[in-house]
Amino acid sequence: MRWLSLLPLLGLVLGGVSALAAPLPFSPKSFTPYQTCTVTATPSSTSNVIDSYVRQDQPNTNFGTAATLSVQSSGTANRRAYIQFRLSACPRAIPTSATVRLATLRLYMTALPSLCRTEDVFAVTAAWTETGITWNTQPVGTAINNPPAASRTTSFNVGTAVGCQYGAANTYVAATVTSDVQAFVSGGQANNGWMIRDDSEGSATAYTTTYTAKNAGTLAQAPQLVITYVDVP
């Protein structure tokens, strides 16, 4: 019969349909949307952020209630800023199994030096309190005075000199802290926040950068930690 001659062609078509129906190589993450959380201080939730700075020339004074954070290189009058964000403040809890794609520390800079300066960001290795930290009690200890390059999380440049990364006041600077936040989320490292210091402290000339602290009460300039992550159950 004539239709019998069509069987090979029919088999080819059916085989093609079968092949097209085969599962595609997608993983669950292909369909999992990214989640973004911004942790910041607001008038009703100031505890989401703790911040302070320490001064070498006032080694026993606490600045936890100050409206600014100060980073300075100057002889024996260096200054370092400390900041920590409460990750549980995210509207949707970040699971410990989450993969952090990007985490950015954002600080609003209101004053900067004339010379381009490098500022380093370090994950703090021990607990500290906003109203207790001083130069003499800062948790990083004396090792941070001459830190190896590999121990810092990241660095950025500030200054009005031509070509500097952040060269204008009244703007946010951004530091990528993804690896630290991933460790905080997974439990591999305690979340003690970060310390920001001049890369070359003890300069003969004072070089100072000023950032807005949470206590300034200005939401548009408040410190921020912006986290983008994805999670698959």
3-state DSSP of 49-116: EEEEEEECCCCCCCCCCCCEEEEEECCCCCEEEEEEECHHHCCCCCCCCCEEEEEEEEEEEEECCCCC
Instruction: Reply yes or no on whether the pLDDT at 143 is more than 90.
Output: no
Tokens of 37: 């959380």
Instruction: Reply yes or no on whether the pLDDT at 1 is more than 50.
Output: no
- pLDDT given for residue 21 in this prediction: 44
Q: What is the mean pLDDT of the chain?
A: 87
- pLDDT given for residue 15 in this prediction: 45
CA dist 56 and 63 (Å) reads 12
**What residues pair up with 209 in beta bridges, in sequence order?**
71
Query: What is the sign, positive or negative, of the torsion defined by CA atoms of 142, 144, 148, 151?
Result: positive
CB 32 within 8 A of CB 99: no
How confident is the model over 113-120, as a mean pLDDT?
97
CA dist 84 and 49 (Å) reads 6
How many other β-carbons are positioned within 10 Å of the β-carbon of residue 132? 11
How many other β-carbons are positioned within 10 Å of the β-carbon of residue 176? 15
End-to-end CA separation in angstroms for the chain:
57
Read off the amino acid at residue 2. R
Instruction: Reply yes or no on whether the pLDDT at 232 is more than 80.
Output: no
Lowest mean pLDDT among 18-22, 73-77, 95-99, 104-108: 18-22
Tokens of 46: 């100031």
How confident is the model over 45-92, as pLDDT tens digits?
889 999 999 999 999 999 999 999 999 999 999 999 999 999 999 989
- pLDDT given for residue 233 in this prediction: 67
Where residue 140 falls among pLDDT bands split at 50, 70, 90? low
DSSP 9: H
- pLDDT given for residue 169 in this prediction: 98
Instruction: Reply yes or no on whether the pLDDT at 227 is more than 90.
Output: yes
CA dist 57 and 77 (Å) reads 5
Query: What is the sign, positive or negative, of the torsion defined by CA atoms of 173, 149, 195, 192?
Result: positive
How confident is the model over 185-205, as a mean pLDDT?
96
- pLDDT given for residue 150 in this prediction: 74
Give ∠ CA 128-106-229 in degrees, rounded to 5: 90
- pLDDT given for residue 14 in this prediction: 43
CB 156 within 8 A of CB 165: yes
Residue ranges and CATH numbers for the domains of the chain are 39-230 (2.60.120)
- pLDDT given for residue 144 in this prediction: 66
How confident is the model over 5-53, as pLDDT tens digits?
544 444 444 444 444 444 545 455 545 689 999 999 987 788 999 999 9
Instruction: Give percent of the chain with pLDDT exceeding 70.
Output: 82
